[in-house]
Structure formats: C-alpha cells, structure tokens
Amino acid sequence: MVRTSYREQLVALAAKIAEICGLATVAMETATRALLRADLVLAERVIREHDQIVDACMAAEEAAFVLLVRHQPVAGDLRTVVTSIQNVFDIERMGVLAKHVARITVRRHPEVAVPSEVAHDFAEMGRVAVQLGNATQQALLMRDVETATSIDDEDDAMDALHAHLFVVVMGREWQHGVPAAIDVTMLGRFYERFADHAVEICRRVNFQVLGETTGSDEART
C-alpha cells in the first residue's frame, strides 16, 4: 500500500509540473499578444496571474522534497525526483520571462513597444516559444523522449530570430532611437532564454527516462 501511494505521488508530481509548464506557456502567449497590440489589459493580466505560477512552483518543489525525505528514492526514482526539482526552477523562470515581456508592454503603453520593422520577428518568436512550451509540457506529462528530442529545430529557429534582431537594431536604417533599441534587445533576450529553459527541461526528460542526457544546464538565468 505504501509503495502504491509513493507511485501515485510520483505521477501526481509529474502531472503538476507539466500543468505549471502549461501555465508559463500560456503566460508567454498572452504576453506576446499584449506586446504586439500594446494591450494593457492583457499585459496586466500576465503580471497579475504570475503569482499563480510562483505558488504552484513552490508547492511542487515542496512535494518533491517530501518524496526525497520520506521515501529516499534510488536509481530511476531518484532521477525523477531530482530532475523534477530542477524542472520547477526552469518553469518558474519561464513564467518570470513572460512577466518581463508584459512589463515592457505596460511601460511603453500606449505605444507599441516593438517597431514595425521587428513586429514579425516577435510574432514568430512568440509562436516558437509557445510551440516549445507545449512540446515541453507534452514531454513532461508523457515522459515522451521522442518529443523531448525533437525540439532542437525550433530552438535553432529562436536563436536565428534572436540574432536577426541585432542586425536590425545595429543597422543604419534603425530610426527609433536608443530606448527602443534597448527594449527590442531585452525582449529578444527574454524569448531566447524562455526557449533555453524549455530545452533544458526536455534534456532532463531524456535523463529521467534513459539515464542519459546531452549538453549541460545553461539556462540558469
């Protein structure tokens, strides 16, 4: 009976972490819409609802530590619990990055924070971020190695979009001044880091399932 309860707790923890990943993804999707439309209501909703993500992350982290202390898992179960704690950190950061996007929208309102020259880039970065977030949620929920290993192309697309922003901002045709350039640079960084956190989580899914992973934890900010 105790072992069954323990297994149920592991499954519940995985489901909870996947659910929080979904919340962070929705937050970034909403923040992107707010950014492109200068929508103050949507931006303030992302900021207001961020506490929900924080509280859920704290609860999931506590549940993981309880499993460690009470059951002292080994082997595959230990990998699951430890990587779950790491994943909670990354998901919390994903939520913070969505909040940062929303804050820039609020600060620049009623103006649109992104000039027309880069609006398409940010629309695409938002799309890629949401796709990565959804894939990560699926990988977490289903322990889906195939999904976890299939996101590299989307991550490369995000990196290319991020690099293109620098080309535009540093180009001679940029006519929007330094404040707008700073906002565009920061926003690009927020999306790029969101993607990095998703990639790190997917790498850990491979570690949980297969006992091996590639690369190293780089998404620490």
Dump pLDDT digits (tens) for 148-172: 888 988 999 999 999 999 999 999 8
Q: Which residue has the higher pLDDT, 47 or 206?
A: 47
What is the rounded CA–CA span in Å between residue 82 and residue 73? 10
Q: Is 84:14 a contact under the CB 8 Å cutoff?
A: yes
* pLDDT value at residue 74: 74
What is the rounded average pLDDT of the residues 84-103? 97
Closest CA to 179 of 125, 116, 115, 124: 115
Least Cα distance to 135 among 75, 191, 190, 203 occurs for 203
Q: How far apart are CA 17 and CA 138, in angstroms?
A: 11
Mean pLDDT, residues 79-95 taken together = 94
Residue 1 has pLDDT above 50, yes or no: no
pLDDT confidence tier of residue 213, bands split at 50, 70 and 90: low
Cβ partners under 8 Å of residue 98, min gap 6: 24, 27, 28, 30, 31, 46, 50, 190, 194
> Residue 108 has which token pair?
């620049």
Residue 208 contacts residue 79 (beta carbons within 8 Å): yes
- Residue-level pLDDT at 144: 84
Dihedral of the alpha carbons of 150, 52, 219, 75, in degrees to the nearest 10: -70
* 162 closest CA partner among 194, 200, 197, 130: 194
What's the mean pLDDT when you consider all of the chain?
91
What is the structure's pLDDT at 5? 84
- 71 — pLDDT class (breaks 50, 70, 90): confident
Report yes or no: 194 and 98 within 8 Å, Cβ to Cβ.
Answer: yes
Q: Is the pLDDT of residue 50 over 60?
A: yes
Percent of the chain with pLDDT over 90: 75
Computed on alpha carbons and rounded to an integer, the radius of gyration of the chain in Å comes to 19
Give the phi and the psi of residue 109 in degrees, each rounded to 5.
-60, 140
User: CATH for 2-210?
Assistant: 1.20.58.220
Region 51-79: mean pLDDT is 89
Q: Please give the Cα distance from 205 to 17 (Å, whole number).
A: 12
Q: Which two tokens stand for residue 16?
A: 């909870």
| Reported confidence tier of residue 60, pLDDT bands at 50, 70, 90 | very high
Determine the pLDDT at residue 148: 86
Tokens of 104: 């820039």
Greater confidence (206 vs 183) lies with 183
